[in-house]
Amino acid sequence: MSQGQADPRTLRGLRALLSRQGLRLKKGFGQHFLVDPNLLAFIVRSAGVGPGDRVYEVGPGAGALTLSLAEAGAEVVAVEKDLRLAPLLDAVLPQDRVEVVFADALGFPWDEVPEGSLFVSNLPYNIATPLLVRLLTSRRFRRLVVMVQREVARRMMARPGERDYGILSLRIAHHATVEKLRDVPPAVFFPRPEVTSTIVRIEPKGVADDPLLFSLIEAAFRARRRTLVNNLEAAGYDRIEVLSALTLLGLDPKVRGEALSLAHFKRLRSILTGADASR
């Protein structure tokens, strides 16, 4: 950040930067910028960012978190969709430590990221779930610390039988362990969102994707009110084979998908397809 440049980590500084650039934020991009220096420092600290770390960020916005990451000594690649922010980010961020890539994060080549990188981001609300899946299946990151809507965080951490339990819960359980760090109120964002956010830390296990497993899981959750047997039959699985598999697993034939753990689904996949249940 150049001398005399407004600091995007404070509300006054952010307002000044947006005013100088004549920018109005776009609701469609999910732009809610964090303006709390202490919370930004907490995020960087929670990710364990230090000198020489390679860190990726999506949705840098005005560069508040990006700047904090760079000041911790990281080499940062920030992926931003809104090209209008280019002059602002150019003025705020240190060019020797930060590369801003203007692209759609869902189309970014995450599989080409250096192995062992970190991912730290206040994720745009509208792409958080599909992006997290892309990041985890890439197997390139050793740790992810992200801020998401509280409802998304609950789905990430839900257990079998809970209301929020579903495909995302099982994705996270397969690929990583997840820890809630803290909730974040709307008051620390500009503009204020209508929801509470949550910061979570995700520690990947380095496990490969399992398309057969998640094809089965997606079929199981196609209609939550229907039994597992009916959902799988509708997806093309043989009803008799599914009923036989449930008997082997000691499960009620009227069980719904939301009652099965990841281990259950792996064993069910193994019985129905002959694939290795230990994966």
CATH class as words, domain 11-204: alpha beta
172's enclosing H/E stretch is: helix 167-175
Split the chain (279 residues) into runs of 10 and give each run's mean pLDDT. Answer: 76 93 76 94 98 97 97 98 94 96 97 98 94 97 98 98 97 98 96 95 96 97 95 97 97 97 97 71
pLDDT value at position 4?
56
Contact 157, 169 (CB under 8 A): yes
191 preceded by a cis bond (ω within 30 of 0)? yes
Task: Answer whether 23's CB lies under 8 Å from 82's CB.
Answer: no
User: CATH 3.40.50.150: which residues of the chain?
Assistant: 11-204
The one-letter amino acid code at 137 reads T
Query: Can you tell me the distance from the alpha carbon of 84 to that of 23, in angstroms, rounded to the nearest whole number?
Result: 8
Place of tokens 């990726």: 56
- Given this structure, which CATH class describes domain 211-273? mainly alpha
pTM score of the predicted model: 0.93
> 176 by DSSP, 3-state: which?
strand
Characterize the bridge pairing of strands 176-184 and 197-204.
Answer: antiparallel
pLDDT at 275: 62
The per-residue pLDDT for 21 is 86
Single out the residue of 128, 171, 167, 176 nearest to residue 32, CA to CA: 128
- Long-range CB contact pairs, 127-134, < 8 A, 24+: 127/30, 127/58, 128/152, 129/155, 129/168, 130/106, 131/58, 131/105, 131/106, 132/156, 132/168, 132/171, 132/172, 132/202, 133/168, 133/171, 134/106, 134/110
Check residue 212 and give its pLDDT: 96
Q: What pLDDT is recorded for position 276?
A: 60
- Phi, psi for 198 (deg, rounded to 5): -140, 135
User: So what's the pLDDT on residue 46?
Assistant: 98
Helix 211-220 to helix 262-273 angle (10° resolution) is: 110
Give the orientation angle of helix 167-175 with respect to helix 128-138, to 10 degrees: 30
Query: What are the DSSP calls for 5-70, one per residue?
Result: PPPTTSHHHHHHHHHHHT----GGGT--EE--HHHHHHHHHHTT--TT-EEEEE--TTTHHHHHHH
The helix (H) or strand (E) run that includes residue 173 is helix 167-175
pLDDT, residue 266, reads 97
Q: What pLDDT shows up at residue 63?
A: 96
